[in-house]
Amino acid sequence: MSGSIGFLEPRADVLSRRKAIVEDLADLLPPDALIAEPRRLVPFETDGFISYRRLPLAVALPRTTAEVAAVMKYCHRYGVPVVPRGAGTSLSGGAIPQEDAVVLCLSAMTRIVELDYANRTATVEAGVTNLAISEAAGPEGYFYAPDPSSQLACTIGGNIGMNSGGAHCLKYGVTTNNLLGVKMVLVDGTVIELGGKALDAPGLDLLGLVCGSEGQLGIVTEATVRLIARPEGARPVLFGFDTSEAAGACVADIIGSGIVPVAIEFMDKPAIEICEAFAHAGYPLDVGALLIVEVEGSEEDMAAMLASIVGIARRHGVKVVRESQSAMEAAAIWKGRKSAFGATGRIADYICMDGTVPLGQLSHVLKRTGEIVEGYGLRVANVFHAGDGNMHPLILYDANDPEDAAKAEAAGMDILRLCVDAGGCLTGEHGVGIEKRDLMRHQYSQADLNQQMAVRAAFDSGWLLNPSKVFPLEGRPRP
């Protein structure tokens, strides 16, 4: 990409003390829990938003909350910025460091502390992967509902930072709807606990503030999340339409009718072809757009919901209706959707955007998205969570061509502006990070931003936690 996204200037006083800082941190951590050699720092210089890279000062790999607290206390005392990191799957640059920052990577904190089936909760350390929670609770008939496409790799700490969602968030909600409590280390090393196993906690809803704060308020080391009983049955159905506009209108009418499927996923023709070539899921190739609609419950409940949904789809000219007939077919349908990002990466470089729009605006935004990308001479594949209007256009480009990269970046920014102008917002589940930071002014007034920054500064007045992220560099308070 063009490299136009800026960073704060590294703190010269921190850079000048690098050797001493590394030595001090080494004294605070076990021998294998600190990385400082430039060669070994390279894997931490970027995240899933690979277009920008910065080599950090050092990487700490704590295994306990006490070790996290020790690192935070030291960095606060000496004014060293800290960038929290989970698995590095962020698609908005949320974990990209700076040259003067210590990356605090929680990937070694992988303990499942407790599975409490009586209260339907799981308490896990921040480095536990999203999918591992469901795998641990599965034998007892429970699962953890948020399911981002990266759930095999992404960690619960990162999910909390970005308020991640996934295909099934239409019915079950995103991370904030499934988070009950956290253990968190503040910027000065103080350890606090928010929430717990109860459905509601007294006092201010600081837990709601922390979820989605992108690592700017503290470092979550442990989380208590809801476990949900597996439904009696679940059935995905494929619906093929001639056009994306027809599919988008169908989604709006399904939700408008009062039916709440567990998921409604959308793919346009380029995405269908890409995913089918990779996953061989049996997707129809003679349609312009595809919906995956999944319902769950008893056989009678599923049959009733599907009858209503099929009726709505027929009013929008559906060409293909294909109901999964076995667990194998259902798994294949979801494999194609879950593989979309990786499958696209096999054929081209791409930027994955993340904007949310009102369902009534889906058809309009889909049409304008195609026009915007075509106007830059590029291609786009659309695959997204249609049920809640969370769009993920994949803009295809050549990363080795600076002009192509600049066009892709500009097209992406235009699409996000379109989402806001249509009554939506800049992000649904990927966060703001670096990618959307300078578009925050398009979504919010300066008064709005000032209030948000005041809340941030109440937790971290020195702006040491995850600097350069979320808020535009111009106009923010300086420590």
* CATH code of the domain covering residue 317: 3.30.70.2190
The span from the CA of 415 to the CA of 392, in Å, is 10
Contact at 8 Å (CB) between 141 and 131? no
The mean pLDDT of 142-164, rounded to a whole number, is 94
- Longest pairwise C-alpha distance within the chain: 69
Residue reference for tokens 């995405």: 271
Among residues 290, 321, 341, which one ends one of the domains?
A: 341
CA distances from 331 to 151, 166, 339 (A): 16, 16, 12
State pLDDT tens for residues 293-312.
999 999 999 999 999 999 99
Do 238 and 225 share a domain, yes or no? no
Among residues 341, 357, 384, which one ends one of the domains?
A: 341
Q: In this predicted structure, which of 67-71, 180-184, 382-386, 443-447 has the lowest mean pLDDT?
A: 382-386
The span from the CA of 476 to the CA of 460, in Å, is 13
- Coil/strand/helix, residue 333: helix
Question: Is 446 among the domain residues?
Answer: no
Question: Is 285 among the domain residues?
Answer: yes
Residue range of the domain that includes 275: 234-341
Residue 1 pLDDT class (50, 70, 90 cuts): very low
CA distances from 423 to 186, 259, 364, 442 (A): 35, 23, 12, 12
Question: Is 478 among the domain residues?
Answer: no
Do 241 and 333 share a domain, yes or no? yes
Judged against a pLDDT cut of 90, whether residue 175 lies above it is answered with: yes
Do 116 and 54 share a domain, yes or no? no
Contact at 8 Å (CB) between 359 and 251? yes
Could you please report the per-residue DSSP string of 237-302? EEEEES-HHHHHHHHHHHHHTT---SEEEEEEHHHHHHHHHHH-----SS-SEEEEEEEESSHHHH
Question: Is 222 among the domain residues?
Answer: yes
Do 225 and 122 share a domain, yes or no? yes
* CATH code of the domain covering residue 398: 3.30.70.2740
What is the number of structural domains in the chain?
A: 4
Question: Is 479 among the domain residues?
Answer: no
- Coil/strand/helix, residue 357: coil
The mean pLDDT of 171-194, rounded to a whole number, is 97
Predicted TM-score of the model (pTM): 0.92
Tokens of 56: 């950090």
Determine the Cα angle at 355 with ends 44 and 92, to 5°: 10
The mean pLDDT of 344-351, rounded to a whole number, is 92
**Per residue in 50-88, is it b (16+ CB within 10 Å) or e — as a string?**
ebbebebbbbbbbbebebbbbbbbbbbeeebbbbbbbbb
Contact at 8 Å (CB) between 390 and 354? yes
Do 242 and 162 share a domain, yes or no? no
Question: Is 56 among the domain residues?
Answer: yes
The span from the CA of 160 to the CA of 114, in Å, is 18
Question: Is 451 among the domain residues?
Answer: no
Which secondary structure element, helix H or strand E, spans residue 22, and what is its range? helix 18-28
Torsion sign over Cα 212, 58, 473, 464: positive
Residue 478 pLDDT class (50, 70, 90 cuts): low
* CATH code of the domain covering residue 94: 3.30.43.10
Residue 3 pLDDT class (50, 70, 90 cuts): very low
- Coil/strand/helix, residue 69: helix
